[in-house]
Structure 1
Amino acid sequence: MRLLLLGCTGFVGRELVPALLQAGHQLTLVSRRLARGYDTERASGALTWLQLNPASPTSWQDGELLEALKQADGVVNLAGEPIAEKRWTPTHLSLLEDSRLETTRLLVEAMAALPTPPGVLVNASAIGFYGTSATARFVESSAAGTDFLASLCQRWEAAAAAVPSGTRLVTVRIGIVLAADGGALGKMLPVFRTGFGGPIGSGQQWMSWIHRSDLCALLQQALENNAVSGVVNAVAPEPVSMAVFSKQLGRSLGRPSLLPVPGPVLQVLLGDGAKVVLEGQQVCSERLQTLGFSFRYPTVASALDAATS
Structure 2
Amino acid sequence: MRILLAGASGTIGTALTRQLDKNHDVRRLVRRSPRNSAEIRWNPSIGELDVAAVEWADAVINLSGAGIAGGLWTRSYKETLYSSRIMPTRTLVQAMRQAQNPPAVFVSQSASGYYGDRGDEVLTEASASGQTLLADICRRWEAEALRAPDAVRVVLARTGIVMAKGGGALPNLLTPMRFFAGTSLGPGNQWWPWISLDDEVRALEFLLTTPLVGPVNLSAPAPATLDAIMLQLSRAFHRPVWFRVPAFVLTAVIGQLGHELLLVSARMEPRALISAGFTFDQPTPESLAQWVRRIVTRK
- Do the structures match in fold with TM over 0.5? yes
Q: 1:26 maps to which residue? A: 25
1:90 aligns with 2:72: no
Q: 1:133 maps to which residue? A: 118
C-alpha separation in 2, matches of 1:56 and 1:259: 47
Q: 2:297 maps to which residue? A: none
Q: 1:39 maps to which residue? A: none
User: Residues 186 and 244 of structure 2 are in contact (CA less than 8 Å); yes or no, is this contact kept in structure 1?
Assistant: yes
In structure 1, what residue type is equivalent to 2:246?
P
User: Residues 246 and 257 of structure 1 are in contact (CA less than 8 Å); yes or no, is this contact kept in structure 2?
Assistant: yes
Q: 1:261 maps to which residue? A: 245
C-alpha separation in 1, matches of 2:285 and 2:136: 29
Look up the SS of the partner of 1:199 in the other structure: strand
Residues 33 and 175 of structure 1: CA distance in aligned 2, closer, same or farther (over 3 Å): farther
Match of 1:165 among 129, 144, 150: 150
In structure 1, what residue type is equivalent to 2:240?
P
1:49 aligns with 2:33: no
Look up the SS of the partner of 2:45 in the other structure: coil
What is the aligned-residue identity percentage? 35
Structure 1 residue 32: Cα displacement:
3.8
Q: 1:282 maps to which residue? A: 267
Encode CA deviations 1:105-157: one digit per residue, 9 max, x unaligned.
11101110111111110001111111112221110001111221111111111
C-alpha separation in 2, matches of 1:29 and 1:269: 37
C-alpha separation in 2, matches of 1:304 and 1:56: 43
Encode CA deviations 1:254-285: one digit per residue, 9 max, x unaligned.
11112112334432443211122012211112
Q: 2:13 maps to which residue? A: 13
Structure 1 residue 101: Cα displacement:
0.7
Residues 245 and 146 of structure 1: CA distance in aligned 2, closer, same or farther (over 3 Å): same
Residues 35 and 112 of structure 1: CA distance in aligned 2, closer, same or farther (over 3 Å): closer
C-alpha separation in 2, matches of 1:274 and 1:85: 12
Q: 2:85 maps to which residue? A: 100
In structure 2, what residue type is equivalent to 1:271?
G
In structure 1, what residue type is equivalent to 2:187?
S
In structure 2, what residue type is equivalent to 1:300?
P
C-alpha separation in 1, matches of 2:80 and 2:176: 29
Encode CA deviations 1:243-264: one digit per residue, 9 max, x unaligned.
1111111112111112112334
In structure 2, what residue type is equivalent to 1:169?
V
Encode CA deviations 1:58-99: one digit per residue, 9 max, x unaligned.
x32xxxx43222211110001011113421101000000001
Q: 1:79 maps to which residue? A: 64
Q: 1:117 maps to which residue? A: 102
C-alpha separation in 1, matches of 2:25 and 2:46: 24
C-alpha separation in 1, matches of 2:134 and 2:286: 29
Q: 2:3 maps to which residue? A: 3
Residues 21 and 101 of structure 1: CA distance in aligned 2, closer, same or farther (over 3 Å): same
Structure 1 residue 51: Cα displacement:
4.9
Look up the SS of the partner of 2:72 in the other structure: coil
Q: Indicate the larger mover: 78-87 or 265-274.
A: 265-274
Residues 208 and 33 of structure 1: CA distance in aligned 2, closer, same or farther (over 3 Å): farther
Residue correspondence of structure 1 range 131-280 to structure 2 within 5 A: 131-225=116-210, 227-275=211-259, 276-280=261-265
Residues 31 and 141 of structure 1: CA distance in aligned 2, closer, same or farther (over 3 Å): same
In structure 2, what residue type is equivalent to 1:20?
L
Residue correspondence of structure 1 range 286-301 to structure 2 within 5 A: 286-301=271-286
Extract unaligned runs of 5+ from structure 2.
295-299
Matched pairs, number: 293
Residues 56 and 303 of structure 1: CA distance in aligned 2, closer, same or farther (over 3 Å): farther
In structure 2, what residue type is equivalent to 1:30?
L
Structure 1 residue 184: Cα displacement:
0.4
